[in-house]
Structure 1
Amino acid sequence: MADPDGPLGATPARLVPRGPAALDRVAEALAAGAVVAVPTDTVYGLAVRASLPEAAATLSRAKGRDEATPTQVLVADRTQAEALAAPGTLTGPIAGLLDRFWPGGLTVVLPRRPGVTLDLGGQEDSVGLRCPDDPWLQALCRRVGPLAATSANRHGEPPLTTAEAVVATLGEAVALVVDGGVGGQLASSVLDLRAAPRVLREGAIPSGALLAALGDAGEAGGS
């Protein structure tokens, strides 16, 4: 294992156990512009501050994918999400959907709030938001702000399910890897809500459950 007191960004990455003490170390690394690997309620993820210039490009280089690929944003709560989504977006049926599946394994793609100029890849007027069902990760987002994130793996390969595997595979590109035990193998489901609802990726939540919940929320809102 790498020296835990070695310089930030040393090779291989430093492995730290998830817990209160790790928050300070991870926040420091993120503030310095580093890529960190964190456990989530779905798969291990690579993350940088969403406000970092070239955030999406930095993550894409770390995992070897096209820099134009859209990057999701992890938020601590609905308040952080509302600061990034277009005004009035998180209301009605969408609010009902989030009441049911947030925190959890659902990423919603929404119109972006005017004036939010984050580098997230993809279309500049859209944003993919997820509130993870992980108190430690929510606390990190409260500490440093929303995080641009992607699954921890080489592009085109299966998600890595342990911190040790992340160190072995991606250690040169990652400053810190937070050990949260064995992770899942399914990433979040991605639901595009910019127009007619469309499932872009079926993951932790089945597509049918998402669309049914959205319909139920719409009926409840109209009753």
Structure 2
Amino acid sequence: MAVKSAIQSGSQSFKSGGYDQQRRAIAIHQPLIGQVKSAKVLDESIELRQKLMNRVQQFIAPLATKDIILALAFGERGGMRPERRTLFLQTGTAHLMAISGLHISLAALFGWALARGIQYLFRNRYIGLWFPMLLGWITATLYVWLSGANPPALRAFLALSIWMLLRGKGINWTPWQVWLRIITLLLIFDPLMILSDSLWLSCLAVAGLIFGFNGFHCLVG
């Protein structure tokens, strides 16, 4: 296997306004790029995730949107049709195909809503906060695993786990306090995240939501 450093492959990153490939490689802990010259099969067994993906591919084969389903369910965008990829780029919606905080939060919300529906069958003394949060966390965990556990998904999952722990412990922090502390814990967990553009875009998006919600609450109040 021939290996070359990301510094050599990312020489165009020094161009003003260009894509910084070297910075991204360091941020996602991939400082080296390998090229396979030859290979042979040593073990034909496949992991459970790949088995599920193969079954889903067979089931959705007749659908015209099968490439979108694979991208959203498993994080596999390699089979995206060129014309559809171009459409997403032109409309500014290509980021929706990348599994990140939005998708992880929706998965957790689905689990939480399912648990709340199940709780209608419980006695009052068994209805509490932990069951919906636990099922939401498990649902988010499964979705992160299905999507391939890419760095943005793992980062969002870690932030979601911290937030759920705070809610479960009854810690009453303001949204801005939670926002700042989660960013701090993420950077302590992985200092190289500071080089990730997606981290700061996600942080700014959440800050915008907090600011907008607080402004709307003040207007209504």
**Higher strand proportion, which one?**
1
TM-score, normalised to structure 2, is 0.23
Tell me: higher relative CO, structure 1 or 2? Use CA pairs within 8 A at least 6 residues apart. 1
Larger radius of gyration: 2
If each structure's helix is expressed as a fraction of its own residues, which one has the higher value? Answer: 2
Compute the TM-score of the two structures, normalised by the length of structure 1.
0.22
